Amino acid sequence: MRFSEKVAFLVTERRGLMWSVVLLIALISVGILMAFLRLDTEVLNLLPQGFDSVEGLKTYNSEFAQTRELTFALLCQPEDVDKLEEFAPKFVERLRAQPWCVRVLAGSPMETPDGVRDLQRIALPLLLNLEPEDFDRAISLLQPQKIQERLAQLRREIESGSPRPEIELTLDPLGLITPSLKPFAGNAAMETDQPLTSPDSTMRVFPMVTNQPSISAFDCQKLMKQVNAFRTPALEGWDGGKLEVFITGRSAYVAEISLSMRHDIVATVLSSIALVGAVFFIGFRRWLPLLGMGFALLLCCLIGLAAGLLIFHRLNMVT
């Protein structure tokens, strides 16, 4: 008996057995998907593996590209500028109290002890970003003679009664932090008294860092759900006019785009099913063959997803 004849015999004469096999395969496929499903939303994982350039790009994208930063902005009416200045510290306190918030930049880092320590800690990486001439000039400050001259000068200033040398010895004892900040000296925004405020003082900006575990679409959606829930209680105590809260950042962008893509995919699938079903019914006036083909395609899809998950250990949503 040929294979095709054997299949036809089983389908027509052993329907119970065939339905049992189909149900068993479907249950096994669903079980594999539920137990081992790992959806990958990173586009860079589609690139060839094993290349240093690809791995370096992934590391930069996940660790050094400000992937976990969000920027909050408060926008008030021109007549409420003074109220916004009074309300901003309360907003920052509530923002820092959130479980997903790690750090908030609400002013100059030099205004807080933690900010001073952070600035001293990143002085070396900032020095490495200087131009060669500026770098050589900064490194020359570490020569013993230069250090002795600097300490002697600061001592003379202290003896003359100036408070500045004591502050300088506490913040920048070797004189390296000031040269490391030279690339930022030309930023016009840093030359103002309030660099995180718009020129008309109607907007205050608050950059912050989150504890988002990864930059996947699901983690971004989870984070933004918590962030959006924070919008309403964040404005409690505001007694002025209309106050708007704006949020931007990579997490906000990824969450919005992924939700939009999901909506588009669902709408496309449902409209395609309706269109194909309508055309099939108009042509054949029967629904059963269409349902049979749809069930067969669904079964093949489940088997393909389960097999792909067992082979590659994860599924990329982009493809």
* Per-residue model confidence (pLDDT) at position 42: 63
pLDDT of residue 110: 59
**Which range, 59-63, 124-128, 302-306, is most confident?**
302-306
Q: What mean pLDDT is predicted for residues 198-224? A: 87
pLDDT for position 312: 76
Q: Is there a contact between 68 and 212 (Cβ–Cβ < 8 Å)?
A: yes
Question: What local confidence, expressed as pLDDT, does residue 76 receive?
Answer: 92
Tell me the pLDDT band of 64, cut-offs 50, 70 and 90. low
The side-by-side arrangement of strands in the sheet containing 69-75 is 101-104, 203-210, 69-75, 244-249
pLDDT band at 226 (very low <50, low <70, confident <90, very high): very high
Predicted confidence band at 212 (pLDDT cuts at 50, 70, 90)?
A: confident
Given the structure tokens 């004591």, which residue do they identify?
Answer: 166
Overall pTM > 0.95: no
Q: Residue 309 corresponds to which tokens in the numbers above?
A: 């998950």
Q: What is the pLDDT of residue 75?
A: 93
Whole-number pLDDT of residue 66: 64
Q: Can you give the pLDDT at residue 189?
A: 44
Q: What pLDDT digit, counting tens, does each position of 38-51 carry?
A: 766 666 666 677 77
